[in-house]
Amino acid sequence: MSFVIPQPHLAIIGSLNIDFVTTTPRCAQAGETLTATSLTITAGGKGGNQAVAAGRASFSSPDKQDGSVRMIGAVKANDPNYKTLLEPTLQTSGVCTNGIALLSDANAQTGSATIIVEENSGENRILVVPGANHSGMTDVDRIHWEVIDQTTMPLPQVVVLQGEIPRATTLWALECFNRAEGLPHVVFNPAPVYPEGIPLEALLGTSVLIMNETEAGQMSQTIAGFSFSGPVQEAVDLDGLRPEELSSRFHMLARVQVVLITLGAKGVYFSTRSGRSGYVNGVKVAQVVDTTAAGDTFVGYFSSDFARFVATGAKLDMFDDVIEMVVEKANAAAAMCVQREGAMQSIPFAYELQ
């Protein structure tokens, strides 16, 4: 008897950028001019990075992709950087680009990010010009159709969202997909957190919420009757707040099924509404080269395996049995990413982790 292995299908609604990466011994102070080491132009954007990570996570070998990923975004039409850099990187990573709108407006431009990377620490500072990520991502009817259209690939089990597109679009997507039966589960990575926050009503019923320490502190202000700003680890020292306590509020008040708080080199805290929780230790690496896409790599890899689980038809509380293994794999992929330069090009394929 042969068995059909369920395949994950994901849709990423998010940003697409051209990254201008300057490597420097250290960042300049105000009014100071430094000689930097190098400048590279690479493909990026949080949505694009997560799509590439999800796509590469589904390659069990160089010539075999187990699943599909659709990118839903917007860029400037006839942008040479899109055609020669961004689109080929997505496609060779197993990402369908049919859902990317090509804007002909003369004032539209493909989103861009200026990234300064310090050589010794690998830490980065980023300035983003949204461009088409905002002007082209307000048409929710188009976005909805791109998600549910099954003419080129199956209905996705998972929709992934971040914070580099208009807040109104993100709120619409949360409310749309969190409410309806038979529609995809939502994996929400509120990065960056909108200054106005996320209303509790929009967050209700989110399947997976992935945050780093800073974002967890900012997002906690969403929860009624509770306010805290700053990294979770600072809260441990100042107010006795622990990730366990923070995640429980999202479970109870927002009915979030899975909460993940990434802690950098310290690892990841995970918690489920059905009662499973714990820590996955960080992965020690020989040298941190560039942390730019590490968080996006984690999100994409976790989302891919979460979609694979959902595809089996199992009840969500059964995810407790595999969540630690899924987090460990996503963490390992992120650890490999930080040892390489750049954003998209630093994200590993699944067969590299083996």
Residues 6+ apart with CB under 8 A from 182: none
Residues 6+ away with beta carbon under 8 Å from 330: 268, 297, 298, 299, 301, 302, 305
In single-letter form, the type of residue at position 326 comes to: V
DSSP symbol at 191? -
Which tokens belong to 173?
A: 């997507």
320 labelled ligand-binding? no
Q: Is 292 annotated among the ligand-binding residues?
A: yes
Q: Is 16 known to sit in a ligand binding site?
A: no
Please tell me whether 239 is known to bind a ligand. no
Instruction: Determine whether the annotation assigns residue 340 to a binding site.
Output: yes
Q: Is 152 annotated as a binding residue?
A: no
Residue 284 annotated as binding site: no
Is 175 annotated in some ligand binding site? no
241 is in an annotated binding site: no
197 is in an annotated binding site: no
**266: amino acid identity, one letter:** K
Catalytic residues: 296
* Residue 49, marked binder: yes
d(CA 226, CA 246): 10
| Cβ atoms of 244 and 271 closer than 8 Å | yes
Long-range contacts of 87-93 (CB under 8 A, 24+ apart): 89/43, 89/52, 89/344, 89/345, 90/43, 90/48, 90/51, 90/52, 90/55, 93/51, 93/52, 93/55, 93/56, 93/344, 93/347
Angle at 125 between CA 123 and CA 131, to 5 degrees: 140
96 in a known ligand binding site: no
Q: Is 46 labeled as ligand-binding?
A: yes
- CA–CA distance, 167 with 204 (Å, rounded to integer): 16
45 assigned binding-site residue: yes
- The answer to whether 266 is annotated as binding is yes
Answer yes or no: is 189 a known binding residue: no
- 63/17 Cα distance (integer angstroms): 27
End-to-end C-alpha distance for the chain, whole angstroms: 28
Q: Per the annotation, does 205 bind a ligand?
A: no
Q: How many CA atoms are closer than 13 Å to the CA of 174, on its beta-carbon side?
A: 26
The reply to whether 164 sits in an annotated binding site is yes
Q: Residue 15 and residue 165: Cα distance in Å, rounded?
A: 6
Residue 290 DSSP label: -
Annotated binding site for K(+): 290, 292, 337, 340, 342, 346
Annotated binding site: 17-19, 45-49, 164, 212, 262-267, 290, 292, 295-296, 331, 337, 340, 342, 346
Annotated binding site for substrate: 17-19, 45-49, 164, 296
Annotated binding site for ATP: 212, 262-267, 295-296, 331
